[in-house]
């Protein structure tokens, strides 16, 4: 039998949901968060499905568990759960989970203004801006990001030919910029993005193999990042990120912003040290920056930073009992 009660703090990061699970952590094996992620997927994925899918969640639901660190100098480890699976890294999820944990006294880092976080994708440093007990914003220094494939031409049914780039920012992103058969996100509605994103993702993954050179468990182009003109004069660019089966990120997407900056740097369109204000589909903003240039397995990469904020919306006690025919959730596609 699979059953239990999961206490959660619910909220959002710049509009996209975050559910920090604060109890009933499954015992995970492995010396790294990457290994623990694989153990969770093999033995405890029912927890993710129960907490993320309907009727306890929804298509955009995203969450996290905090664990003890897996490194000697770390403050915490994190496991991401969402409708699309267990991501190696999630920017908005990190900002939300750390905000909720710090404000509720669930995490005491060595430095109150810095959290050294072990993620499945690697070390992420979070710099915390506080006003007393309130967390105003968190700036993440993310894992190295790089452009993986450039100007890949694909043929999309009913839409026609598209040229796309694929970039890694913690996950692999298919980046679609305005061109002949796509005018930009300001000219299309959510139905358009939901219709064509799964097709594009399947076509791309059939043509190229996206595998991180240092960790083969990070593989496959999982997200589609559509670009266009921003709503606000203070934004430098806008995006709409598709993930899962039918989700559009309400936040500007932290790993997506990292991937976008890596693409722009590789193409000579964004210099080191310049602020990059990235806007979401609903108009919320992250502040990105290329902090430094590094190398991943002989490939040029960047160290990206992303700054954003999160707010708590409530505290939740979720019961999962396999006597319930919908204990492990469902989706209506």
Q: Give me the residues paired with residue 314 across strands.
A: 10
Active site residue 253: yes
Give yes or no: 90 in active site.
yes
Distance (Å, rounded) from C-alpha 272 to C-alpha 265?
8
Least Cα distance to 146 among 164, 130, 166, 163 occurs for 166
Q: What is the DSSP letter of 142?
A: P
Measured CA angle at 330 (ends 327, 331), to 5 deg: 165
The whole-number pLDDT of residue 333 equals: 78
User: Would you state the structure tokens that stand for residue 111, as one six-digit string?
Assistant: 């430095």
Active-site residue identified among 90, 188, 210, 289: 90
**Cα–Cα distance between 259 and 257 in angstroms, integer?**
5
> Please, are residues 257 and 169 in contact by the beta-carbon 8 Å criterion?
yes
Asked if residue 141 lies in contact with residue 303, where contact means CB atoms within 8 angstroms, the answer is yes
Q: Which two tokens stand for residue 175?
A: 């980046």
d(CA 24, CA 4) in angstroms, rounded, equals 7
What pLDDT is stored for residue 156 in this prediction? 98
Per-residue pLDDT of the chain (333 residues; tens, 9 = 90+): 567 899 999 999 999 999 999 999 999 999 999 999 999 999 999 999 999 999 999 999 999 999 999 999 999 999 999 999 999 999 999 999 999 999 999 999 999 999 999 999 999 999 999 999 999 999 999 999 999 999 999 999 999 999 999 999 999 999 999 999 999 999 999 999 999 999 999 999 999 999 999 999 999 999 999 999 999 999 999 999 999 999 999 999 999 999 999 999 999 999 999 999 999 999 999 999 999 999 999 999 999 999 999 999 999 999 999 899 999 999 997
Nearest to residue 299, comparing CAs of 183, 201, 210, 190?
210
Answer whether 252's CB lies under 8 Å from 235's CB: no
Partners of residue 116 on adjacent β-strands: 125
- Rounded to whole angstroms, the Cα distance separating 280 from 251 reads 5
pTM: predicted TM-score of the whole model, two decimal places: 0.97
Would you state the pLDDT for residue 188?
Answer: 94
């Amino acid at each position: 039998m699979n059953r239990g009660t999961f206490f959660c703090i619910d909220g959002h990061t710049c509009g996209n949901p975050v559910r920090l699970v604060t109890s009933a952590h499954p015992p995970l094996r492995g010396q790294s968060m990457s290994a623990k992620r694989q153990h969770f997927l093999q033995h405890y994925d029912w927890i993710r499905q129960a907490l993320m899918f309907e009727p306890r969640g929804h298509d955009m639901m995203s969450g996290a568990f905090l664990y003890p660190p897996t490194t000697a100098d770390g403050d915490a480890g994190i496991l991401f759960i969402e409708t699309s699976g267990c991501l190696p890294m999630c920017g908005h999820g990190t900002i939300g989970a750390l905000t909720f944990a710090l404000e509720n006294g669930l995490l005491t880092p060595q430095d109150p203004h810095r959290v050294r976080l072990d993620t499945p994708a690697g070390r992420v440093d979070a710099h915390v801006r506080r006003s007393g007990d309130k967390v105003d914003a968190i700036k993440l220094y993310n894992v190295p990001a790089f452009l993986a494939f450039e100007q890949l031409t694909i043929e999309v049914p009913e839409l026609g030919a598209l040229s796309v780039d694929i970039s890694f920012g913690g996950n692999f992103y298919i980046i679609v910029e305005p061109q002949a058969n796509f005018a930009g996100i300001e000219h299309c509605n959510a139905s358009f993005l939901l219709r064509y994103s799964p097709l594009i993702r399947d076509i791309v993954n059939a043509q190229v193999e996206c595998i991180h050179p240092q960790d083969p468990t990070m593989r496959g182009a999982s997200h589609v990042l559509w670009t266009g003109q921003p709503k606000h004069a203070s934004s430098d660019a806008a995006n709409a990120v598709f993930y899962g089966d039918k989700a559009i990120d309400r936040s500007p997407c932290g790993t997506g912003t990292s991937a976008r900056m890596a693409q722009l740097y590789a193409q000579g369109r964004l210099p080191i040290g310049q602020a990059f204000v990235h806007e979401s589909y609903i108009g919320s903003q992250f502040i990105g920056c290329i902090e430094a240039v590094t190398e991943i397995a002989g490939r040029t990469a960047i160290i990206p930073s992303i700054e954003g904020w999160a707010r708590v919306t409530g505290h939740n006690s979720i019961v999962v009992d396999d006597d319930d025919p919908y204990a492990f959730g469902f989706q209506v596609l």
